Structure 1
Amino acid sequence: MTQTITINHWIQEAQILPLVDVRTPAEFTQGHIPGAVNVPLFSNEERAQVGTTYKQVSREAAILLGFELTGPKWAGFIRQCLQIAPGKRIAVHCWRGGMRSGAMAWALGLYGFEVYTITGGYKSYRRWAHRQFERSYNIRVLGGMTGSGKTRLLQYMKKQGQQVIDLEELAQHQGSSYGTMNKMVQPTQEQFENDLAWQLKDMHPEPLLWLEDECQKIGKRSIPLSLWQQMRTALLIDLQVSLEQRVATLLRDYGHLDPDFLAESTERIHKRLGPLQTKQAVAAIREGRMNDFIRVALVYYDKAYRKGLAMRPPGNVFELQTSGEDMPADYQRLVAFTEAFSTP
């Protein structure tokens, strides 16, 4: 049995209705619905062949070629889907809800699956994702100079039941020239948006939604403009942490990284850091003086942070003294500070 459902319908049942994406591996990597499993009807090369035949010969010729290419694969497709959905209840989609998902749904239905195809396919999810960015949220931004422990505090807040989205985790980047930590690989812009929208769907409009103060670009990924604009006009709590604690935090986070990576990352910001400071920072890295390197780099990052802070609406920035190390205590200070805003 095959039925069509909307993307909203599937999202409501996502926990109990497995989703199969039959697009090519390249399409899936470019962007996919969170939780979907890729069971590609065509390889990347086969998809190109079918597309060329469709354009240069005819629709019918492309369909015949498609059946020729997939003929030996159908038993494998069904076995894969049985592993994904042992209960034989499954949802399927392609790019626009067309022939590829239709063919897979037909085969699975013939085998006895209860199959649901997503109306509009992956494109319908992209439209849905953009609507999540345009919703209004009760955003509160957590700021502070580099090394203030913002990310750790947000992670602790999330464990305490607060609404938190870690944008740097989604972007797989720590938001500086050193942000990949020499190991993280950023998702595509499309996938970053897909994952962000998936988390936003669970955020209620009334309670505070905590986000870290970020530039619009996190590495090479951009926060969607409509959400970014809400972040820029939201109240910001500026964590005040001592320089010594910030250096200690950064030494713990970055001090063990490969010196070549740190030196190359420093060279990338030489125009902003300045020739003398860049030379001093790289020398400190090469000589193992990580404390000195961090102090030189902070001169630039602190200046950039102050500049960004000055661009916020007057009266929207509030300072809060925190340790930058004791997360439970800092959380209690933040809760008490935040509650003061809602007290008549």
Structure 2
Amino acid sequence: MVRDINSEEALKLDIPLFVDLRAESEFTEATIPGAVNLPIFNDDERTQVGTTYHQDGPAKARWLALQIVSPKLPELAKQIDYWSRQKAVVLFCWRGGMRSRAISMICDLVGIPAYRLTGGYKAYRKMVRNYLWEQQLDREVIVLHGLTGVGKTEVIEILANHGLAAINLEALASNRGSVFGGIGLPPGPNQKMFESYLAHILWHQARFPYIVVECESRRIGRNTLPTPFIEGMRTGSHILLYDSLENRVQRLIGEYTYQGSPDLDSLSRAITSLKNRLGGEKTTELINYLYQGDLVQVTRELLVNYYDPLYHYPHGPSKEYDLCVSTQDIMAAANRIEDYLNHRYNQ
């Protein structure tokens, strides 16, 4: 009832459920997106078995593992059986070794249908790395450019909601890509999980000949974009978004206050980190505006004195881009880009 399956085959299953049999810390560090954790050993038990293996040899380690796991088997099997009635269960451990083999044998004995991932998480991870780092990107990248606050992320989200191929890279990294990038956001994923999220979206959108992203540097927060992806951005199609300074100011204030009052202390620390660029007097002035509640003045000053000179994007249409779109009406801008994509790719 349990069949071996490789990572590529597993991802093509209808409604797969990846069941990670590794310990909690292994699962927390990195896993297959959407996987659930059903650890055979908890972290302490895994350490005990590992220590016994190195000190007393593999035979004693196996006996200790059996002693630890045996009382858990009925509940483990019951949980897998429950999941198997709803989805295609794919069992995996680190490298397709003892943990997944043992649970597969139990599933076979009691007639639970499931798959076992050949090579485990290690093989899956190798597939992700090869796809993202060793191969040329298999579609054209449509890059949205524009000054800070023109609404690039909003446009990408609208396009994605319309069913087009668009990736919010900053959402994947949980970072807006600047010194203010992580404020108000949860901690970002580690590099392994970031790459897995990116690969899964690309695989899911493989039917499209393009992917729309915002122009980013190689690093977004704590994460690094793969070299072929960066090269695809460089050689792709380029769209400029533009809007008035006042609209950009209001858009940014909304972005940082949509969940309530802004985190003034975090904003103050971010402004202070720009002291070498802004100068001590301007930095103090902005922090005073901040604590006085004048977010409009703070935002306007940061755009005019820091962000706009940093990025050097045009404030209006430019012949250097394949398409230029005003975002004064953000929905109209997204629709204009959607029309452009449909015409360009005859969809």
Distance in 2 of aligned mates of 1:247 and 1:88: 47
Deviations 1:234-293 (A, max 9, x none): 222121111111011011112431211211222233334432332222111111111111
Question: Contact (CA 8 Å) 2:16, 2:87: kept in 1 or not?
Answer: no
Q: Percent of pairs identical after alignment?
A: 33
Question: Contact (CA 8 Å) 1:92, 1:117: kept in 2 or not?
Answer: yes
Structure 1 residue 319 displacement after superposition? 5.9
Residue 322, structure 1, aligned to residue 326, structure 2: yes
Distance 1:139 1:284, change over 3 A: same
Distance in 2 of aligned mates of 1:88 and 1:110: 20
Which position in structure 2 is the counterpart of 1:235? 237
Distance 1:64 1:162, change over 3 A: same
Which position in structure 2 is the counterpart of 1:295? 300
Distance in 1 of aligned mates of 2:344 and 2:108: 57
Which position in structure 2 is the counterpart of 1:261? 266
Distance 1:162 1:342, change over 3 A: closer
Distance in 2 of aligned mates of 1:129 and 1:98: 20
Which position in structure 2 is the counterpart of 1:2? 2
Corresponding letter in the other structure for 2:4: T
Deviations 1:169-216 (A, max 9, x none): 111122222222324221111111111111111233763210111111
Deviations 1:54-91 (A, max 9, x none): 22221111111111222221122122223322369532
* RMSD over equivalenced CA pairs, Å: 2.4
Distance 1:263 1:83, change over 3 A: farther
Distance 1:183 1:138, change over 3 A: closer
Distance in 1 of aligned mates of 2:85 and 2:191: 33
Distance 1:93 1:338, change over 3 A: closer
Distance in 2 of aligned mates of 1:107 and 1:201: 33
Corresponding letter in the other structure for 1:323: T
Residue 215, structure 1, aligned to residue 214, structure 2: no
Corresponding letter in the other structure for 1:3: R
Instruction: Give structure 2 stretches of 5+ with no counterpart.
Output: none
**SS of residue matched to 2:4:** strand
Which position in structure 1 is the counterpart of 2:76? 77
Distance 1:83 1:261, change over 3 A: farther
Distance in 2 of aligned mates of 1:270 and 1:40: 48
Structure 1 residue 137 displacement after superposition? 1.7
Distance in 2 of aligned mates of 1:81 and 1:316: 56
Structure 1 residue 333 displacement after superposition? 3.1
**SS of residue matched to 1:40:** coil
Which consecutive aligned stretches of 4+ in structure 1 deviate over 6 angstroms post-superposition? 339-343
Question: Contact (CA 8 Å) 2:141, 2:236: kept in 1 or not?
Answer: yes
Structure 1 residue 38 displacement after superposition? 0.7
Distance 1:215 1:64, change over 3 A: same
Structure 1 residue 336 displacement after superposition? 5.2
Distance in 1 of aligned mates of 2:297 and 2:86: 60
Residue 188, structure 1, aligned to residue 190, structure 2: yes
Distance 1:21 1:337, change over 3 A: closer
Distance in 2 of aligned mates of 1:242 and 1:18: 47
